Structure 1
Amino acid sequence: MEEKGRFKIEIPLDLAQKCVKCGLCKSVCPSYHGEEGSYARGRLALAEMVVKGELPLNEEVAAQWNECAMCRRCEWVCPNDVHYKDVLVEARELQEKKLGRDFISRAGLKSLEFMQSDLGRKVLKAAGKLSALLPSEVKTPLPTGAVKFMPKPHGKPFGIRGKVFKAEEEKGRLLFFTGCMIDVFYGNTGESVIKLMNKLGYTVVVPEDIKCCGAPHLYHGNVEAFERLKEHNLKEIDRHEFDAIVVACPTCGGALIEDYGRDWKVYDFAQIVFEEGENSRFKGANERLTFHVPCHSYTAMKVNPSVFYGVMERVEGAEVAKAEKAQSCCGFAGLWSIKNPKLSEKVQREKMEDFKETKADFILTTCPGCVLQLRDGVRKFGNPQEAIHLADYLAERME
């Protein structure tokens, strides 16, 4: 049996068999469309049948696994603590070994590695100089026939890398794991996180050569690439002294907590803002707020959603309106929205209709990928709202 890191190239039958077939996961799965194989219970059953030799691993089976968004909401509601992520990672790795990787996954994952290479950073920095000529979102046709409003490159991509941002009265030192989307597209969000942490008394260290966290690769079953990225990042992080790691992307945070094998303290920036209590106050302007809870914030990072609402309630002069489907998937899930455009748009439409009902001025969230999807949804479905990362909203309203 071949091994790579802490994952093995086999489907862990014992984990799959923990599923008691209750079907509760059906109620929260964004990809469920009426077929048994389109949600967690069915996908686990397929994995079990493949392991037992009752079913060949063919394109039909792979298609069911590929429709999974890996939001992990099934884990969140599972009464039997089935580690669905571990099973699907193994299944997709086995699938890759036997059937190969589809073009979109291969190109998408390679692009993440290219962005964080020396050449990729030079290309993106050059592109950033031209970004002022582009609208904030660019209408982009995708290989699967979908069209998305994609963010333009930031004017100064990787602009905060390799720097230390000191607090006036330091009470702690945080290492900021920025993540690819903040590095390349949402640099202002990175600056906002630093501004908030400095205000609260934390010096922020941003490593020079962090690469992609590897979670997209791991979730697609490309364990070899994940292990390579992880080892690089561990060496880079170990060069610095810090009390805790702060993130503004819950997928990165989840990978650091679950898959890097270190006993770090890893916080969503909003957790730090929340824990500061009365030290963190903000001034609104009679606006109405609603919030999209990113799936990985509560499934991977285990952050209680009450943290985000508690932070928003500290904005004086703002009203918080909780959406009915605030904790449901937005339909992005990285490459999933490109590979499964119809499923993604169905989920996205439902979210935007729900947010419209809140009559909020701002849709806030704490995931750059969700920001992309929500802004795309605002444009597509005509919501009279602005979708923005919570860090940017708060940094603009600090007292």
Structure 2
Amino acid sequence: MEKAVEIPIDLAQKCVKCGLCKSVCPTYSVNQEEGSFARGRLALAQMVIEGEIPLTGEVAKQWDECAMCRRCEWICPNDVHYKEILVYARHMQKEELGAGMVKSAGLKSLELMQTKVGRKLVKLAGRIMSLLPTNEIKTPFPTGAVKFMPKPTSKAFGLRGKVFKAEKEKAKLLFFTGCMIDAFYGKTGENVVKLLNRAGYTVVVPEDIRCCGAPHYYSGNTETFERLKDHNLKEMQKYDYDAIVVACPTCGGALQEDYGINKKVYDFAELLQDKRLRFVGKGESITFHVPCHSYSAMKVKDEVFYSVMNSVENAQLKKAQKDKSCCGFAGLFSITNPKMSDQIQKEKIEDLASTGANIVLSTCPGCVLNLKDGTIKHKTAQEVMHLADYLAERLVDEV
């Protein structure tokens, strides 16, 4: 039986209705309704589970409007397991009301992309789209969402099945690349390997890992998550490694929390606090967006990222006032809830722009996508980069 279906009701009853989650919920700031933050959504889940109210489309709508950033867990004084409860609620929703065409298609595309045929098609699309003059393509969706999406890379899945040896190896890492790096941000993956090699880590990239399954799990599609997890665990067991490294905190959170792995899962930035690495900037000013799942799922302290950025010579770090607020992406959330996502994105872009920084950095490919989309729409002229790309461009010879 799937993990989500086994959640006892006492997890929801741990909520003492203090309302502290209201202060950090990105969707409450838009709707300002009781059902628009964790306390209200938990109450609805509890009433449905206990049979007090029926599961209707209106109830499901409140659950669908959650970005699953899990900032409510981060601030909760009573350790309420919000993710597990809402996954269970969404599983019930899927079973009784269906998942919806757009969500189903989006989740299915993540599966198909990682098949042999899917990988070939992504590479082909990348070669064709490389002829286009822009890096981002304005893409409309049937929900009314319009996003500037990155082009697939012609080198998609190019790291798969390779071992990148460090000169003076101090550990061997399995790099779980993730769908977005595989398909869209291949250069980011290469830069993660470059940085880790220089820091003394040999990097192993499995041949046939699939989507981590986090989008499916968060959507209540626990059957597909279990299938993807089982496949990935079998594939990862083929390799010898000391720890796992990611450059996507959503993947990292799934591996750390839901895979039952006894190996440590690192965000790549955690492994770069090494005096042997020297970074020299170009006189630019930088600011940082802390991905929600970095601290809510992976439990990485944001001081890790700031420590690495502060080590860059000839660059000025300007911390945003709301550096840990949600960017509004949350995967399919930004497609199925475009108006709400756009408002959250707008607030984030305004905060980042107020720093006056030239470059916006983050460690989540999804956040990079959404922040680029936001800077284009709001014309802030800020460059958006994954932290790995920024650091790799400024890496110089050892001290």
Per-residue deviation, residues 51-83 of structure 1 (Å, max 9, x unmatched): 221110111110000000000000000000000
The code of the aligned residue for 1:246 comes to: V
Q: Calculate the aligned-residue CA RMSD, in Å.
A: 0.8
> What TM-score do you get using the length of structure 1 for normalisation?
0.97
Pairwise mapping of residues 150-169 of structure 1 onto structure 2 (< 5 A)? 150-169=149-168
- Hey, what does 2:14 align to over in structure 1? 18
CA contact (8 A) 1:12 1:90 kept: no
Deviation of residue 119 (structure 1)?
Answer: 1.0
CA contact (8 A) 2:124 2:154 kept: no
> What TM-score do you get using the length of structure 2 for normalisation?
0.97
- Hey, what does 1:244 align to over in structure 2? 243
CA contact (8 A) 1:367 1:389 kept: yes
- Hey, what does 1:78 align to over in structure 2? 76
Pairwise mapping of residues 11-50 of structure 1 onto structure 2 (< 5 A)? 12-32=8-28, 33-50=31-48
Q: Percent identity?
A: 66
Q: Any gaps of 5 or more consecutive residues in structure 1?
A: none
Which whole-Å CA distance do the structure 2 matches of 1:155 and 1:53 have between them?
52
Secondary structure of the corresponding residue to residue 281 of structure 2: strand
The code of the aligned residue for 1:132 comes to: S
CA contact (8 A) 2:173 2:241 kept: yes
- Hey, what does 1:107 align to over in structure 2? 105
- Hey, what does 2:267 align to over in structure 1? 268
Deviation of residue 13 (structure 1)?
Answer: 1.2
Secondary structure of the corresponding residue to residue 284 of structure 2: strand
The code of the aligned residue for 1:398 comes to: L
Q: Is 1:298 matched with 2:288?
A: no
The code of the aligned residue for 1:112 comes to: L
Which whole-Å CA distance do the structure 2 matches of 1:288 and 1:67 have between them?
35
Which stretches of structure 1, 4 residues or more, deviate above 3 A after TM superposition? Answer: none
Secondary structure of the corresponding residue to residue 279 of structure 1: coil
**Range that drifts further, 320-329 or 165-174:** 165-174
Which whole-Å CA distance do the structure 1 matches of 2:190 and 2:386 have between them?
12
CA contact (8 A) 2:4 2:91 kept: no
Pairwise mapping of residues 1-399 of structure 1 onto structure 2 (< 5 A)? 3-4=1-2, 6-8=3-5, 12-32=8-28, 33-134=31-132, 135-274=134-273, 276=274, 278-399=275-396
Which whole-Å CA distance do the structure 2 matches of 1:80 and 1:27 have between them?
16
**Range that drifts further, 349-358 or 217-226:** 349-358
Which whole-Å CA distance do the structure 1 matches of 2:394 and 2:110 have between them?
33
Which whole-Å CA distance do the structure 1 matches of 2:108 and 2:142 have between them?
16
Which whole-Å CA distance do the structure 2 matches of 1:17 and 1:46 have between them?
12
Per-residue deviation, residues 337-379 of structure 1 (Å, max 9, x unmatched): 0000011010110111111110101100000000000000010
Deviation of residue 112 (structure 1)?
Answer: 0.2
Per-residue deviation, residues 105-144 of structure 1 (Å, max 9, x unmatched): 1000000001001110111111122132122000011111
Secondary structure of the corresponding residue to residue 204 of structure 2: strand
Secondary structure of the corresponding residue to residue 204 of structure 1: strand
Deviation of residue 26 (structure 1)?
Answer: 0.6
